[in-house]
Chains A and B, each alone.
Chain A
Amino acid sequence: MKVISCIKPVPDPASRLIINEAKTWIKDQELTFVASEADNYALEEALRLKEKHGGEVVVLSLGGEEAARVLRSGLAMGADRAIHLLDPKFKGSDEFAAAAALARAIQKDGSADLVLAGVQSDDLGTGMTGTMMAEFLGWAHATVVVGVEVQPDNKSLRAQRELEGGINETVELTLPAVLTIQFGINHPRYASLKGIMAAKKKEFKAWSAADLELPDNAIGRAGATYDVTEVLFPERKSRVEIISGTPEEAAANLVEKLRKEAKVI
């Protein structure tokens, strides 16, 4: 089976994030980008499906050099080839515009059985791009997936969805389908040195907006469905009392307050 695994580049979680002058996003020029964490689980699941059922794994990403970087990591982990949606016109995409472009690339590449994406990204974190792709493609989908089992006829699959309150729901879907993969479904592998070397020889395609035959008003900022009016650190409406001092002083002060003020110990 052919599995396409989508990867979103996001700032390394260890980065200190600073809001840009226009207050519309973060200053992202000097940051290091890595694959959004949930997308690593999705790619690992794709690689396991290939190991079990044969076929190929294609990694797909949209963005500038940071997207090329996460695609190369995906190839080093074991994906067979990469598709990079690269065009200044894609800049400023929201989830809707990104899903439209990704879905078009999946159609253009053709004959995929399954598309996997992380349950949500570490930046926007809304968890909608994968499901939106399913609708653009007209395919079935399932979200928050913690288990995948392809049926022997390769025409359907069973997916376990993790619902609230510790409930797992098993659903059956017709293929082709899109799944959004939950954290913890597996243990993503690390790229081996051999994998990194092998990645250099793998097919790496770049497609522009023109290659996808998408009109300018459907992509990037023009294709977005909303404007960002402000990005800000939330106001602390909290009651928190920050206890300062050296670690020892702060610890001693805290214990004192827990005993005398809060009276909880």
Chain B
Amino acid sequence: MIFVIAEHKDNKLRPITSELLVFGQRVARDFGQPLTAVLLGSNTAGLAAELKSDKIDRILQAEHADLAEYNPDSYVHVLQSILSRDKPFLVLMGHTTQGMDFAPRLAVRLRRPLIAGCVEYEKQGDRLILTRQIFNAKMNMKTSVRGEPPYLATASPGAFPSDEVESGNAEVAMFPVELTEAPKRKVLSRVEAPRGQMDLSSAPIIVSGGRGLKLKENFKLIFELAEAIGGSVGASRPVVDAEWLPREYQIGSSGQTVSPRLYIAVGISGAIQHLVGMQTSRCIVAINKDSEAPIFKVAHYGIVDDLFKVVPALTKIFKQLRQA
């Protein structure tokens, strides 16, 4: 059996759930195994109805009042009993702030392997090879799990296409939940992190700078280019963490998601967290001296050279074009 642990919030399935289903459906097909989707919550009927038309052999609802709000202790406890009963081959979870909050605990509880942040898999004979990214997505590492199943894995957001879920007609079953121990952690509040007024979501052109700029002062190169081209300025996370720019400039999974006509990434290596925030841009240009930088994987045009030479040259051309 292949298990997918569905992720949901505010009674809605999170986008990662579709990606996990695609991952799960493909592994299930290749290994000739049935697929189960697990829903943990207090009232999961609506979510189960949403999943019912997907190609899943069984939807397993595990309901309890204490599961209304995610907490790692209850999740690990309930999943431990489900996995001990059903003994699946592979358990897929999201490489998200929720999945990676409980998956490592679950792995230790079960004394089983966890391969985190998977982007691909392959079947070598009967063996499952899971590939994940290392060194900030510069390299891939292929791994082979040891020992008996279940094997645990989290899938990197964006690695599997969410629009390729196959349709079907799933059976629905309930799992009886027993929770006696109070969780060691409880949620007090959830609020939007303070952010500025700047909205980049509708900007037609964005020039974005990253750590390759080396110093805060050098960010003026980005502002100059953006002005010459008539675009807005964005930044990668390290730039914002270093307080070169306020948080409102940040593009990526914990910042803004953008899809401009033209996105110019300068000195940005392209961590997955950044890529998910800009990869749907119509035209992406990457300027980086490291030809192995993952940003080149999503770029349409690339210049592998010193940004301190290329950017001023570009700015000069755009200024001339404007004057002409």
Chain A positions near chain B (C-beta within 8 angstroms) = 17, 19, 26, 95-96, 99, 122-129, 131-132, 134-136, 139-144, 158, 161-174, 177, 183-184, 187, 224-234, 236-244, 247-248, 250-252, 254-255, 257-258, 262, 264-265
Contact = CB atoms under 8 A, between A and B. Distances in A.
A215 to B, nearest CB: 14
B104 A135 contact: yes
B97 A143 contact: yes
B139 A250 contact: no
5 contacts: A131-B105, A171-B188, A225-B113, A229-B143, A251-B316
A225 B150 CA distance: 12
B310 A17 contact: no
Interface string B302-314: 1111100110011
Contacts of A169: 187, 189-190
A226 B240 contact: no
Contacts of B274: none
A130 to B, nearest CB: 8
A159 B117 CA distance: 24
Contacts of A167: 190-193
Contacts of B129: 229
A144 B97 contact: yes
Interface string B121-140: 00000000100111110111
B100 A166 contact: no
Given A128-B100, A228-B141, A162 B285 contact: no
- Interface size class on chain B is 35 or more
Given A164-B96, A238-B298, A251 B283 contact: no
Contact of B205 (A126, A165, A265): A265
Given A125-B135, A170-B189, 6 more contacts: A17-B139, A126-B132, A162-B97, A172-B185, A173-B185, A233-B139
B318 interface: yes
A180 to B, nearest CB: 9
Interface in B53-94: 72-73, 76
Given A123-B135, A172-B185, A143 B100 contact: yes
Nearest to A11: B135
B101 A231 contact: no
Given A242-B303, A242-B304, A122 B185 contact: no
A158 to B, nearest CB: 7
A131 B297 contact: no
Contacts of B243: 187
Contacts of A170: 187-191
A150 to B, nearest CB: 15
Interface string B264-289: 00000000000000000011011000
Contacts of A232: 139-140, 142
Interface stretch (B20-28, B215-223, B254-262): B254-262
Interface string B103-117: 111011100111111
Given A238-B297, A248-B313, A252-B317, A184 B146 contact: no
